A and B are shown apart, each in its own frame.
Chain A
């Protein structure tokens, strides 16, 4: 899958309270959650983000709570992929399970706000079209790719159940 979009840049330790404040956890609707995405730390983000845009973070992206509302909010506001140096473990699994594409890359410091990236998820190759540079990352292990290819964990389980019947 190839994803092309404009970069919104964030720092290290972006936590789940930053991504979606607890006061909005009275909804399970991705669009509604998305309209408040990053509100505490970047009040205009949800207003300015365009469908297909890409979030670029630093270390430990998505740390804090287990709220799946965080990757849902990111998906719901139109962001197509997240790139960061490292991801917090629960955010990592939630993103896999709901099919929010993301990649780990150590090159995020070199990427600027507003750059246009083209990400190839299966090969792990990221092209920075603005700076004309290519970054390489390791693609996911097969087990995780299978879940993503099935369209998330619940579809993966349904496929598994079918094979057992």
Chain B
């Protein structure tokens, strides 16, 4: 019996002869990521248990991105813990502000995540890198502390669910819409403990940026991973890095717990309504949803192609008076590209703010918190109660084109209407 790509990668990181879904394994990790919220607990636990050296300083990554640039004194102290630990352990992959970016946009950009890798991150959206054909999964701080000790993680081998997308995508529809549509169909626990595998002709023609958006939100369906088999697009993306990774494909007789197949030719841009990412509607079904704020950015949709789409719509236009538009490029590299290509100027001239890379308002940290009763449309990944600030606020999720169009009209709008 064959293996899925998820099972193959996991097996390759153990000394076992075989693996099967449901089995508990101890696996070797290629990379262990922590941020300014999760790494402090990991560092404390690591030290409290009496350990002094990390297993491999080149496989540990520290990114202060959630509350950085430090939003207050306590955040500053947490960020400082990362800087100190990096210095003490000789960890090169510590990204201070200035070279920092939102972790899940940054790591692929600098070639730290490659096909075939087993990556753990103390951040739920670590599943983003599955877009490159690796097994990457979100874990907790104590898991990270343990990985610091011996480079290993305990995992339950997940069963796999296959998602086949057929047809041809309409204009303004991309990876974000496919994943919102999928979560809308299967629910926030529709892939609980499972590996999602995205495939079919529509996936094969998606850009890397769109693939990252899809894999990023696998966790919103409860999945451990969201994997796309590597192809020519993947190979082209990794060709810029010294390390190439290892390309795995699912066997033709691999076993899937379920297969979903959809023709998405008629799919319109999708919007997740408050207060769950599964509460999904087509954009044209939403009439007169007035907005106070639009956020374009995050590990889901803060990449250069996202910002190009938004700028294309906003070019020469003004946002609705009284509305707050917040644009956050996910990394310094993307920030610089926005400056060079004139995108930053388009956002500012339209009446928006152009912020430094950070998770910022996505998780209600800083740089755009919602007040009581405010309504936001965001290109981020979660719209739980209070996620972006007040427990009495409302968050809708969409792709960057819908977000930009809606910033102009002040209500949720199909980009075709601009």
Contacts and interface: CB of A to CB of B under 8 A. Distances in A.
Contacts of A17: 363-364, 382, 384-387
A133 interface: no
B276 A13 contact: yes
Chain B: interface size category: 35 or more
Interface stretch (A49-57, A61-69, A74-82, A123-131): A61-69
A41 B189 contact: no
A59 interface: yes
B24 A97 contact: no
Interface stretch (B34-42, B94-102, B228-236, B405-413): B34-42
Interface in A135-157: 141, 143-144, 147, 152-155, 157
Contacts of B124: 64-66, 90
B139 A86 contact: no
Given A28-B41, A66-B38, A66-B124, A88 B222 contact: yes
B167 interface: no
Nearest to B369: A23
A5 B72 CA distance: 38
Interface in A94-129: 94, 97-98
A118 B276 CA distance: 33
B122 A66 contact: yes
B24 A144 contact: yes
B27 interface: no
A15 interface: yes
Nearest to A39: B391
Contacts of B385: 17-18, 40-41
Contact of A143 (B24, B48, B121, B189): B24
B353 interface: no
A93 interface: yes
A140 B391 CA distance: 35
B283 interface: no
Nearest to A143: B24
A28 B143 contact: no
Contacts of B78: 26
Contacts of A158: 49-50
B74 A27 contact: yes
Contacts of A66: 38, 121-124, 126, 138-140
A35 interface: no
Contacts of A153: 142-143, 145-146, 154
A72 B78 CA distance: 17
A158 B47 CA distance: 12
Given A15-B384, A60-B222, A66-B124, A41 B391 contact: yes
B188 A97 contact: no
A104 to B, nearest CB: 11
Given A40-B386, A88-B222, A90-B140, A26 B75 contact: yes
A98 B226 CA distance: 27
Interface string A1-25: 0000000000001010110011101
B224 interface: yes
Contacts of B66: 22, 25
Interface in B290-346: none
B135 interface: no
Interface in B133-177: 138-143, 145-146, 149-150, 154
A144 B122 CA distance: 20
Contacts of B276: 13
B237 interface: no
Contacts of A25: 37, 66-67
A56 to B, nearest CB: 17
Given A28-B41, A143-B154, A63 B140 contact: no
Contacts of A65: 123-124, 363, 382
A161 B50 CA distance: 12
A68 B38 CA distance: 7
Nearest to A155: B49
B284 to A, nearest CB: 27
Contact of B222 (A63, A93, A97, A98): A63
A94 B71 CA distance: 27
Contacts of A68: 38, 41, 122, 140-142
A89 B195 CA distance: 12
B365 interface: yes
25 contacts: A13-B189, A17-B387, A18-B384, A18-B385, A22-B37, A22-B363, A25-B66, A25-B67, A28-B44, A40-B391, A60-B192, A63-B189, A66-B124, A68-B122, A69-B41, A88-B189, A90-B140, A97-B142, A143-B154, A144-B24, A154-B142, A155-B49, A157-B146, A157-B149, A158-B49
Interface of B: 24, 37-38, 40-41, 44-45, 48-50, 66-67, 72, 74-75, 78, 121-124, 126, 138-143, 145-146, 149-150, 154, 188-189, 192-193, 219, 222, 224, 276, 363-365, 382, 384-387, 391
Give me the 8 closest cross-chain CB pairs, A-B, nearest first.
Answer: A26-B74, A94-B140, A97-B142, A60-B189, A40-B391, A40-B386, A68-B141, A68-B140
